[in-house]
Amino acid sequence: MSDDITEAISGSGGDVASRDKKTSWFYSDIVKDHFFHPRNFLDRDPEVGEFNAIGKVGSPACGDELKVWLFIDEITERIQKFAWKTFGCGSAIASTSMASVMVTEHGGMTLEEARTLKPQEIMKRLGGLPERKFHCSVLCDKALRDAINDYYRRRGQFDKIEAEAARVIDSVSKVTDRDIEEAVLEGAHTLEMVQKKTKVGIGNPGVLPAVEELIRFYKEKYFG
């Protein structure tokens, strides 16, 4: 069980303290519900033919790894099943659980609709996430888009595969230059702060010089 959520059990209103007790944050009741009762979690190996698309993002080395399995109706291209496993914190679990509900409710999203799902929409349905946990909802939409591309790849519909519009900076966490730009705009002006938001470079330290260069660029661009 994730340390940050288990501490929330005894806290009032979801108040959680960091290990060093220097910072604290809140989890909504919805987040805690999806952590303690995750929807569509796959607690076994998938059966042959059970799903027709797989997506993956992250790595255990950087603290968060997420794998999703989709079953997509080949006629309507609506997502009928969204199963998942994650190696990550309580926020990652809750975010993925909520994403699986959003994608499959009301008959399921079409692939086109699912591709437009934003981390902010997942956070809104959860009642918000602490700022330092924003990257957890980012993992969900990245893994979902990766699975959609996998579906089209398996069907030989290569013209429908959409590459990430932004340039991938860290191939392990799949953090892009756009993710770093958004982090700087949200107030992360140091490498440590950007890493807290995105996990960039934690499992792939060779990219850190490029990350630092981008931070300097976006700071000058937006803040002078």
Q: SS3 letters for 179-223?
A: HHHHHHHCCCCCHHHHHHHHCCCCCCHHHHHHHHHHHHHHHHHHH
The one catalytic residue in 16, 57, 126, 136 is: 136
CB 79: neighbour CB atoms within 10 A? 25
Look at residue 6 in the predicted model and tell me its pLDDT. Answer: 44
What band does 142 get if pLDDT is binned at 50, 70 and 90? confident
Highest mean pLDDT among 21-25, 67-71, 128-132: 67-71
pTM: 0.69
Report the alpha-carbon distance of residue 132 to residue 123 in Å, rounded.
Answer: 13
What is the average pLDDT score of the chain?
Answer: 84
Tell me: pLDDT of 9 over 50.
no
- pLDDT tens across 67-85, in order? 999 999 999 999 999 999 9
- pLDDT tens across 146-191, in order? 999 999 999 999 999 987 667 788 988 889 888 898 888 788 999 9
| Catalytic (active site) residue 136 | yes
| Catalytic (active site) residue 140 | no
Which residues lie below 8 Å from residue 143, measured CB to CB, with a gap of 6+? Answer: 55, 56, 57, 66, 67, 68, 84, 96
The one catalytic residue in 5, 62, 126, 207 is: 62
Question: What domains sit in the chain, N to C, each tagged with a CATH number?
Answer: 3-163 (3.90.1010.10), 164-224 (1.10.10)
The mean pLDDT value for 80-92 works out to: 89
Three-class SS of residue 108?
Answer: coil
Within the chain, where are the H helices?
Answer: 3-10, 29-36, 90-104, 111-115, 119-125, 134-154, 177-185, 191-198, 208-223
Tell me: pLDDT of 203 over 50.
yes
The mean pLDDT value for 113-125 works out to: 89
| Total count of residues recorded for the chain | 224
